[in-house]
Structure 1
Amino acid sequence: MNTTEQETHDPIPDNDAVLSDALEQHLRAEGAELAKLEGRVVVRFAGIAEAGGLRIPYDLIPPDGVLANAGKWRNLSAEKKLALARERVHPKARQNLHRKVSEFVEALAARADDVGLDAREFLHVLALKESSAPVDHVLDRVEQRLIHAIERQQEAMNAARTRESINLAEYPATFELARRLPRRFIALLGPTNSGKTHEAMEALAKAKSGVYLAPLRLLALENYERLGEMERNGERLKVSLVTGEERRVVEGATHVASTVEMLDTQTRVDIAVIDEIQMLGDRDRGAAWTAAVCGAPANVVYLVGAPEARRAIEALARRLDCPLEIRTLTRKAPLSMEGQPVRKLRNLRRGDAVIAFSRREVLMWRDMITEMGLSVATVYGNLSPEVRRAQAARFREGSADVVVGTDAIAMGLNLPIQRVVMTTAVKYNGVEEEELSAALVKQIAGRAGRFGVHEEGFVAGYDDDTHYVIRALLKEKVPPISSLGFSVAPTLEHLNRIASVTGEQSLARLLKRFETDIDVPDGFFTPRITEEQAERAMWLDTLPLTLADKFTLSLVPISSRVPSLHAAWQKWARALARGHASHLDWIGEHNARATLQEVEDDCKLYSAYAWLSYRNPEFFPHGEEAQRMAREASERIDGILQSQNRAMRSRGGRKETQVRRAYAR
Structure 2
Amino acid sequence: MTEEYDDERLSIELGLAERGIALLKLEGRVFLRFDGTADAGGLRVPYALVPAQGVLAKPSKWRKLDAEARAALVRERSTDRALRELHDSTVAFVRELGAECEEFGLAPMDFLHSLADVQTSEPASVVFDRIRQRLGHAAERQREEQHAERTRQSINLAEYPASFDVARRLPRKFIALLGPTNSGKTHKAMEALAKAASGVYLAPLRLLALENYERLLEVSRHGKPLAVSLVTGEERRIAEDATHVASTVEMLDTRTPVDVAVIDEIQMLADRDRGAAWTAAVCGAPAGTVYLVGAPEARRAVEALAERLECPIEVHVMKRKGPLSMEDGPVRKVKNLRPGDALIAFSRRDVLMWRDMVAEMGHSVATVYGNLSPEVRRAQAQRFRDGEADIVVGTDAIAMGLNMPIQRIVMTSTVKFNGYEEEEIPAPLARQIAGRAGRYGIHEEGLVAGYDADSHEVMRSLLKEKPVPLNTSGFAVAPTLEHLHRIAAVTQETSLAKLLKRFIHNIDVPDGFFYPRITEDQMERAQWLDTLPLSVADKFALSLVPVSTKVLALQRAWEHWCVALSKKRITRLQPDDHQLYHMTLQEVEDTCRLYSAYAWLGYRLPDYFPDIELALELSRAASERVDTMLQDQNTSSRRRHHRRR
- Specify if TM > 0.5: yes
1:173 correspondence with 2:157: no
Q: Alignment partner for residue 328 of structure 1, among 308, 317, 329?
A: 317
| 1:495 to 2:484 alignment | yes
Aligned counterparts of 2:604 and 2:291: Cα–Cα separation in 1: 29
Matched, 1:641 2:630: yes
Helix, strand or coil for the counterpart of 2:581?
coil
Residue of structure 2 equivalent to 1:4: none
How far apart, in 1, do the equivalents of 2:66 and 2:341 lie? Answer: 96
Q: 1:53–1:194: structure 2 CA closer, same or farther, 3 Å change rule?
A: same
Match of 2:426 in 1: 437
Secondary structure of 1:620 counterpart:
coil
In the other structure, the counterpart of 1:3 is: none
Maintained 8 Å contact 1:373/1:649: yes
Residue 518 (structure 1) aligned with residue 507 (structure 2): yes
- 1:20 and 1:523 mapped to 2: Cα distance? 69
Matched, 1:300 2:289: yes
Any stretches of 5+ residues in structure 2 without a counterpart? Answer: none
Q: Distance in 1 between matches of 2:315 and 2:266?
A: 13
Change (3 A) 1:305 1:53: same
Structure 1: distance between partners of 2:454 and 2:71: 86
CA contact (8 A) 2:601 2:609 kept: yes
- Contact 1:590–1:599 (CA under 8 A) maintained in structure 2: no
- SS of the aligned residue for 1:403 comes to strand
Is 1:210 the counterpart of 2:203 in the alignment? no
Q: Deviations over 1:473-521 (max 9, x none)?
A: 1111121111101111111111112222222222221111111111111
Aligned residue identity for 2:279? T
- Whether 2:275 is the aligned partner of 1:286: answer yes
Matches within 5 A, 1:17-416: 20=7, 23-25=10-12, 26=14, 27-28=16-17, 30-70=19-59, 72-73=61-62, 81-416=70-405
Measured after TM superposition, the shift of residue 42 of structure 1 is 3.2
Instruction: Determine if contact 2:575/2:618 at 8 Å carries over to the other structure.
Output: no
* Structure 1 contact 181–298 (Cα < 8 Å) conserved: yes
Q: Distance in 2 between matches of 1:546 and 1:607?
A: 24
* Residue type at the aligned position of 2:347: S
Deviation of the 1:588 alpha carbon: 8.9
**1:23: Cα distance to partner?**
3.8
Report SS of the residue matched to 2:582: coil
The SS at the match of 1:592 is: helix
Task: State the SS of the aligned residue for 1:252.
Answer: coil
* Stretch of structure 1 that moved more, 297-306 or 337-346: 337-346
AA aligned to 1:606 is Y
Instruction: Give the percent of matched residue pairs that are identical in Structure 1 and Structure 2.
Output: 66
Taking structure 1 as reference, are residues 103 and 481 closer, same or farther at Cα in structure 2, changes over 3 Å only? same
For normalisation by structure 2, the TM-score amounts to 0.95
Give how far 1:211 is off.
Answer: 0.5
Q: Distance in 1 between matches of 2:287 and 2:392?
A: 38
Q: After TM superposition, give the deviation of residue 531 of structure 1 in Å.
A: 1.2
Q: Which deviates more, 42-51 or 280-289?
A: 42-51
Once residues 181 and 159 of structure 1 are traced to their aligned partners in structure 2, the CA distance between those partners, rounded to angstroms, is: 34
Whole-angstrom CA distance in 1 between matches of 2:470 and 2:480: 25
CA distance in 1, matches of 2:163, 2:290: 18
Residues 336 and 68 of structure 1: CA distance in aligned 2, closer, same or farther (over 3 Å): farther
1:215 alignment partner AA: P
The count of aligned residue pairs is 642
Match of 1:547 among 523, 536, 561: 536
Shift of 1:304: 0.1
Change (3 A) 1:81 1:457: farther
Distance 1:328 1:58, change over 3 A: same
Q: How far apart, CA to CA, are the structure 2 residues paired with 1:518 and 1:575? A: 33
* 1:88-114: CA deviation from partner (whole Å, max 9, x where unpaired): 333322222121112111221122123
Task: Give the corresponding residue for 2:435.
Answer: 446
Structure-2 residue corresponding to 1:9: none
3-state DSSP class of the match of 2:593?
helix
- Offset, 1:115: 2.9
1:118 partner amino acid: A
Which secondary structure state, in structure 1, belongs to the residue aligned with residue 493 of structure 2?
coil
Aligned letter for 2:176? Answer: A
Q: For each residue in 1:573-628, what CA deviation from the matched residue of structure 2 results, as whole angstroms up to 9, or x when unmatched? A: 11111111100128996242211111111101100111111111111110000000
Residue pair 2:20, 2:36 contacting (<8 A) in 1 also: no
Change over 3 Å in CA distance of 1:71–1:335 after alignment to 2: farther
Preserved CA contact (<8 Å) 2:365 2:390 = yes
Change (3 A) 1:22 1:272: same
- Map Cα deviations across residues 54-111 of structure 1 (whole Å, 9 max, x no partner): 2222222222223344555556666655444343333322222121112111221122
Task: Please give the secondary structure, in 1, of the residue aligned with 2:202.
Answer: strand
Q: Which amino acid is the alignment partner of residue 20 of structure 2?
A: G
- The answer for the alignment partner of 1:456 in structure 2 is 445
RMSD: 2.2
Q: Give the deviation of 1:18 after TM superposition.
A: 9.0
Shift of 1:553: 1.0
Query: Do the aligned partners of 1:205 and 1:232 also contact (CA within 8 Å) in 2?
Result: no
Q: TM-score, normalised by structure 1?
A: 0.92
* Structure 1 residues 221 and 16: CA distance shift in structure 2, 3 A: closer
Q: 1:213 is aligned with what amino acid?
A: L
Deviation string 1:199-249 (CA, Å, 9 cap, x unpaired) is: 000111111111100000000000000111123344322211111111111
